[in-house]
């Protein structure tokens, strides 16, 4: 039994529909429901934890998926989501819950090789075609946290106002280099 087998057996269809955006998507709950019988079949255990991390002056939720196989092999993956300062119609706990669900979904996507390229984040480009995907932004956030880089200074250096507008390859290479020099 292997992670590869679980990834190949898992079928998590996009069972939700966004009327406003006109696209189908899968939620964290959809993935979890599809995953339960596959994990049971392979005698694998999985759990998700959330950590609240401050980067610069903003809070990010870091969701970590841990998968333990029957032979005690353990895999972990994480994803980040930023809490909005305010969101119309939501109180603080709902904003945190929304960020948690989002981060958990992308951590599950990473662990189980779920492709969301045709999901809302890939098709909803709003005003700019070259924005980063959520996975790319999560990778940059992970590196920012690991290198203790100040997000505001990083954004200012690249003259952008959002993580999603950063030049992915250049930023990742720079942060990985900084991480390598620190160790």
Q: Tens digit of pLDDT for each residue in 54-64?
A: 888 888 899 99
- Indicate the DSSP class of residue 132: P
- Residue 174 pLDDT > 70: yes
Of the pLDDT bands very low, low, confident and very high (cuts 50, 70, 90), residue 41 is: very high
pLDDT tens readout for residues 130-171: 577 878 888 888 888 888 888 878 888 888 877 788 888 888
pTM score of the predicted model: 0.63
Plot region of 22 (φ>0 → left; ψ -120 to 50 → alpha; else → beta): left
pLDDT of residue 125: 42
Q: Which numeric CATH code is attached to 1-124?
A: 3.30.390
Q: For the chain, which residues make up each domain, given as ranges?
A: 1-124, 126-183
Q: Supply the Cα-derived Rg of the chain in whole angstroms.
A: 17
By DSSP bridging, strand 58-68 and strand 74-82 are: antiparallel
CA distances to 24, 103, 132 from 117, rounded to whole Å, are 12, 16, 12
Distance CA 97, CA 112 (A): 22
């Amino acid at each position: 039994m292997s992670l590869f087998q679980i990834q190949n057996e898992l079928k998590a269809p996009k069972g939700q529909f966004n009327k406003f955006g006109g696209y189908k998507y899968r939620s964290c709950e959809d993935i979890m429901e599809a995953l339960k019988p596959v994990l049971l079949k392979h005698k694998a255990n999985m759990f998700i934890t959330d950590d609240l991390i401050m980067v610069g002056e903003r809070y990010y939720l870091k969701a970590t998926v841990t998968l333990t196989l029957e032979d005690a092999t353990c895999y972990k993956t994480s994803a980040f989501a930023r809490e909005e300062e305010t969101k119309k119609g939501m109180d603080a706990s709902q904003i945190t819950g929304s960020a948690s669900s989002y981060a958990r979904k992308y951590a599950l996507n990473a662990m189980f090789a779920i492709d969301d390229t045709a999901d809302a984040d890939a098709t909803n480009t709003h005003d700019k075609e070259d924005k980063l995907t959520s996975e790319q932004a999560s990778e940059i956030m992970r590196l920012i946290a690991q290198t203790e880089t100040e997000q505001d200074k990083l954004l200012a250096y690249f003259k952008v106002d959002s993580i999603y507008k950063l030049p992915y390859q250049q930023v990742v290479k720079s942060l990985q280099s900084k991480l390598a020099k620190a160790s």
